[in-house]
Amino acid sequence: MNTITAEDTLLEQAAEVGAASQVNGVVLPGSGVTITATADALFKRIAPTKRLFIRGGAVVGIVENNGALELEIISATAARSRFETYTNFYVWRAGGEGESVLKPAIVSQEMASALLSSDEARTLLPKITGLVNCPVIVDTGEIVGRGYHADTGLFITGGKTPLPVTLPDAIEALKELVAEYDFQSPGDRSRALASFVTPALKLGGHITGNVAADTAEADKSQSGKTYRQKVVAAIYNEKPSLVTLRAGGVGSVDESLNQQLICGRPFIQLDNFRGRFDSPHVEALLTAERSFPVRVPHCREITIDPSRFFLQLTSNGVETTRDFANRSCIIRIKKRDGYTFKTYPEGDLLQHVRARQPFYLGCVFAIIREWIAQGRQRTNETRHDFREWCQILDWIVQHIVGESPLMDGHQAAQERVSNPALTFLRKLALAVADQDRLSETLIASVLYEIAEAGDVAVPGLKEPNEEHGKRQVGVVMARLFKTTHEIELDGFRVTRHEVETTRDGGGTYTAKTYHFERLPA
């Protein structure tokens, strides 16, 4: 028998097979039908439904998990039943008198694997880059809604049409979302406002390069750092996918992150990280362009488009590598002790934003439309590695929103989070304040006692030891004050004084004392 296509074979033999519904089936390989022909017939049927997609070389589908839609790599086992929802399958068999007839068939796991790995799957299925649960304003200024969009590769899984909002009302409404936060500086407030607009600019293709990780830092727990990031996601009708710091071996955080990247939801939150955060995998994700390899146990490696994700990290005093600091947008918040936050008819601020999500998305779109109308301008800001993102958002926050320059105070924050000694000094200053020791004259041994009481780890001290600890505090402080007698950081001023002091047994030595004070607000 000459080689024939699966489609032609089925049409020619439909009368012998019987029921009309079987006309729309696919013939499996054998008796002259090739795997290529079967794959071509199968995926030409599936592709128009926009229910299976190709992503990084793997076939994926949209599934529901705890009420949220996610992307899932389709295994050969799952594909057997999945394929049956799109078509019926047949195979050539020998008839009673030795002639070839078509018989209903079931796809084997081996055949499902071959079909999933075929060139036809990669070329015929639509390519998907990620999911988002709200409309997107694309580069032309048009708003696109629910469904698959080939231009962006995004599948918009839901969300109502954003409401039309005037520019003054939009600016006022977004400023109200941060009005009750006590930011470390006006630059931190500008960066918080920019965090509302960044996702829409990136999802719509207005920013083509990388965007910084939203790194939220606070002086104390329960300050609202995680809450603010949830509000950002809520504007886009999303909830952050959580990655927590877990024990259990090197790579556990990276594996959890990979799983969330495969799922495809845009906001990923690394919540409440403590100590040193050092992940080359995360740093590579933040600088990757269009292609980033990810793998989880029991699944093949795939490549994802990293531009469809927004990484959020929270900490009360994170210590990072310099590379991660350079890829971050650090937003510092001070806790407002005893403060009662505003409530709304819907409840708290987050519940209010979720209830009025189409309005707040409309506010973001109003600002983007104004930026487009004014010629998509940028500043010449150079104080961040991600220049395109930085310059666009700097122009928007200054010239449309009317706030301070985006990067004011940011380089000092980057330097501090990537310098273990400065991170220690910040935590120590907070402990001094908590223990009501501000304005006192303190020596290294007393500082160690304050650090111990405040659960502040001393760099270079492997385990608690009073004698070694006092000496190591002195070493760290000497390193910090090697070329200066005064350091200002995150609302504190630390001053070192040197005094010639007489020893009990005779002679003198230079005593070093430290004075901590709060800077005026």
* Residues 38 and 115: beta-carbon distance below 8 Å: yes
Digitized pLDDT (tens) for each residue of the chain, 521 residues in all: 344 454 554 444 433 333 323 346 999 998 889 999 999 999 999 999 999 999 999 999 999 988 889 999 999 999 999 999 999 999 988 877 777 888 999 999 999 999 999 999 999 999 999 999 999 999 888 999 999 999 999 999 999 999 999 999 999 999 999 999 999 999 999 999 999 999 999 999 999 999 999 999 988 888 889 999 999 999 999 999 999 766 444 447 888 899 999 999 999 999 888 778 888 999 999 999 889 999 877 777 899 999 999 999 998 877 899 999 999 999 999 988 888 889 999 999 999 999 999 999 999 999 999 999 999 999 999 999 999 999 999 999 999 999 999 999 999 999 999 999 999 999 999 999 999 999 999 999 999 999 999 999 999 988 888 889 999 999 999 999 999 999 999 999 999 999 887 777 777 778 899 999 999 87
pTM of the model: 0.87
**Same-domain status, 244 and 320:** yes
Domain assignment present for residue 117? The answer is yes
Q: Which amino acid is located at 355 in the chain?
A: A
- Describe the crossing of helices 420-434 and 410-417 by its angle, rounded to 10 degrees: 100
**SS3 state of residue 207:** coil
Which residue do the tokens 């793997």 mark?
58
**Same-domain status, 14 and 65:** yes
**Same-domain status, 345 and 203:** yes
User: Which uninterrupted H or E stretch holds 19?
Assistant: none
**Same-domain status, 266 and 195:** yes
Q: Which amino acid is located at 126 in the chain?
A: P
Q: Which CATH number belongs to the domain containing residue 312 in this structure? A: 3.40.50.300
In 3D, which of 297, 328, 333 has the Cα closest to residue 311? Answer: 328
Domain assignment present for residue 395? The answer is yes
Domain assignment present for residue 35? The answer is yes
Where among 383, 417, 451 does a domain terminate?
417
Largest alpha-carbon pair distance within the chain?
119
What's the rounded Cα separation, in Å, for the pair 373 and 367? Answer: 10
**Same-domain status, 310 and 433:** no
**Same-domain status, 434 and 396:** no
The alpha-carbon radius of gyration of the chain (Å, integer) is 30
Where among 382, 401, 417 does a domain terminate?
417
pLDDT of residue 219: 85
**Same-domain status, 407 and 429:** no
Domain assignment present for residue 272? The answer is yes
Provide CB contacts within 8 A for 346, sequence distance 6+: 352, 354, 355, 356
Provide the H-helix boundaries in 332-396. Answer: 349-355, 357-373, 387-395
**Same-domain status, 66 and 47:** yes
Provide CB contacts within 8 A for 139, sequence distance 6+: 204, 205, 206
* Residues 520 and 465: beta-carbon distance below 8 Å: no
Residue 454: Cβ-neighbour burial (10 angstroms; 0-12, 13-18, 19+): middle
Residue 220's Cα: distance from chain center in Å?
A: 23
Sheet strand arrangement including 89-94? 26-27, 89-94, 100-104
Token pair of 459 as six digits: 């760099």
What's the rounded Cα separation, in Å, for the pair 393 and 200? Answer: 12
Which residue do the tokens 């990293």 mark?
306
**Same-domain status, 406 and 434:** no
**Same-domain status, 328 and 247:** yes
Where among 367, 395, 417 does a domain terminate?
417
Token pair of 16 as six digits: 């012998």
The total number of residues written for the chain in this structure: 521
**Same-domain status, 350 and 495:** no
**Same-domain status, 496 and 413:** no
* Structural domain that includes position 337: 167-417
Domain assignment present for residue 159? The answer is no
- Number of structural domains found in the chain: 3
Q: Other CB atoms closer than 10 Å to residue 61's CB: what's the count?
A: 16
Domain assignment present for residue 11? The answer is yes
